Amino acid sequence: MIGASFDSTKTPLQALLAGADSGKLQLPDFQRGWVWDDDHIKSLLASVSVSFPIGAVMMLQTGGENVRFKPRPLTGTAERLNDIMPETLILDGQQRLTSLYQALMSKLAVETKDAKGKAIRLWYYLDMKKAVQAEADREDAVLSVPEDRLVKAFGGEITLNVTSPELEYAADLFPVNRIFGSAEWRQAYSEHWKFDRDKMRLFNDFERDVIKRFEQYQVPVIELKKETPKEAVCLVFERVNTGGVALTVFELLTASFAADNYQLRDDWNAREQRLKSQHPVLRNLQSDDFLQAISLLVTQTRRRAAIDAGTAAEKLPGISCKRRDILKLEVTNWKNWAERVEAGFVRAARFLYGQKIFKARDLPYRTQLVPLAAIFVDLGKDGETEGARQKIARYYWCGVLGELYGGAIEGRFARDLPEVVALVRGEGVEPITIQESSFQANRLLTLRTRNSAAYKGIYALLMRDGGQDFRTGEPIEAQTFFDDKIDIHHIFPEKWCKSAEIKPGTYNSVINKTAISARTNRQIGGRAPSKYLPAVEKSAGIDSARMDEILGSHCVASGHLRADGFWDFYVARAEMLLQRIERATGKSITRDPKLFQAGVVEEVYDEGPEEWDAEEPLEEAAS
């Protein structure tokens, strides 16, 4: 389909820039600024001057019913073009064509940036003598000068003055914005030098070697026809874009909505600010996540309407949040659902706080926020009961501990929404996510860093199911979590494990990790448990019996810990963690009684030096 919806040809550079100058060629209003710096522009001009390729540009015909984007003229063109409807839009090539337009066609200084990113305005010249030297690097012949046309040394001394045409002639510097109309400048240059033979020869060589190359330069152009669907526009753009930043589905919708005078970006920015500033667990939420949740609800509404209308099962529209379905969203869909979806993400955040997931970096799967928010929106008040919370929690932990949201997950989202809603309302069987969830006992041995969703999940689960702070003995709630800087730390410290010749692959497992405050972790240092536990008890003002209760809330058998019995501790804690996982998911786990014992673990599961989690502080040795 895509192959039949575009043409590929070569177009003279001068014709493309003339189209931009007349308004026939414009940009879709993706609100991306023009950002090329001075060095990039000089390199681009040098490439064209020697007929080197600068890459293809991609266009889109306007006037189609499938794709309507609000246009905007290229930076540097006349303001009158704002009222002109273009014939073609630039999808890829904005920076190259804008650079070339401003340098070659505009009568104003070029808007660019210096090497430090500071905004500046420059004029571009070609040093004719350097340009015609056979062995010279053409880039050395391209010169940029400040807007006032005065080049100054560090001390302020003027080293080049081209403030008048006569000074340009005297310096043999040709202004590149006269490339496509050089005859008048040449005549004045010749008169200035009184038709000197050497100067005439210099300009002849310059015209042949440089000006003609600009005049004859052809740009490869891929033009998408106006019948091209939005999905294809987005897909093709991302595959051929050479600008370094891929076009997102949100940006396409932003431009599409702008054609209906709706500023999607402004609306989203306000919602994003509210969500992220008030809910730390949502700090990594993306605009596409929000759009996916809306798409799920919009397509589900359509499906329900079709069911109510008696549509045959095989003809029912599907529930979906894939790219093609998001690109079909209209302004009315956003207006109807955005407020409710924002509230849905807030409810999802509050649910996660109840599961003791407080920060974005500790969120097992950002992607699982999408169906979770949509589920809360669809359930409305039905999702506010304790019974609903328990069912949603089981679904959530099956997804996390079954590690089901790490791949292509749009199809799972589409099943989760109706199936979990039906589960909560007692109208359906177990969702596929619950059915497919499976946790293998040996997975505990390979969960070692926050790179694993299940690792972060178990950390949160221990806090959710009553894990108490070692020092205060209080359950770990949001205030405690942030005030005491709770994080994942070793129970048997790394230093002690190394001295006991226990391998990193073993002691870095989640089996030897739990939620501990920064202050307590400093007290632990690198000492044996038999040494640090009395110190923690003394600091907290508690006896051994109370400390044993706190350890038990973390699935730690205190007797083994106090005796520095690493392997007895390891076996016992692995079993208790498996029981916690079974309770959370409602699914049984097959055991191998020898799996967590010394020798078996280190022979089979040790993988050598660990890639450390940069966000997890390791214990410091303490006296």
Q: Is the pLDDT of residue 622 over 70?
A: no
Stated pTM of the model: 0.73
Provide the pLDDT confidence category of residue 610 given band limits of 50, 70 and 90: very low
Give the integer Cα–Cα distance in Å for 189 and 174.
Answer: 10
Structural contact between residues 441 and 592, judged by C-beta atoms closer than 8 angstroms: yes
- Name the burial class of residue 130, with classes exposed (0-12), middle (13-18) and buried (19+) by CB atoms within 10 angstroms of its CB: middle
Rg (CA), the chain: 33
**Residues 358-368: pLDDT tens digits?**
999 999 999 99
pLDDT at residue 481 in the model: 67
Q: According to the model, what pLDDT value does residue 244 have?
A: 46
Strand residues in 93-132 grouped as ranges (E): 110-113, 119-127
Q: Give the pLDDT confidence of 497-551 residue by residue, as tens digits.
A: 999 999 999 999 999 999 888 888 888 888 999 999 999 999 889 999 999 999 9
Instruction: Confirm if 486 and 472 have CB atoms less than 8 A apart.
Output: no
Average pLDDT of the chain to the nearest whole number: 88
Predicted confidence (pLDDT) at residue 3 exceeds the cutoff of 50: no
Question: Would you give the end-to-end CA distance of the chain in angstroms?
Answer: 71
pLDDT tens digit string along 582-593?
A: 999 999 999 988
- In angstroms, the CA 509 to CA 207 distance is 71
Q: What pLDDT, on a 0 to 100 scale, did the predictor assign at position 185?
A: 96
The count of other CB atoms within 10 Å of the CB of residue 463 is 25
285 pLDDT tier (thresholds 50, 70, 90)? very high
| Residue 244 φ/ψ region, left for φ over 0, alpha for ψ in the -120 to 50 degree band, beta for the rest | left
Q: Number of C-alpha atoms within 13 angstroms, CB side, residue 597?
A: 6
Distance of CA 481 to the CA centre of its chain: 27
Cα–Cα distance list, 221 to 17, 46, 62, 93, 225 (Å): 13, 20, 16, 10, 12
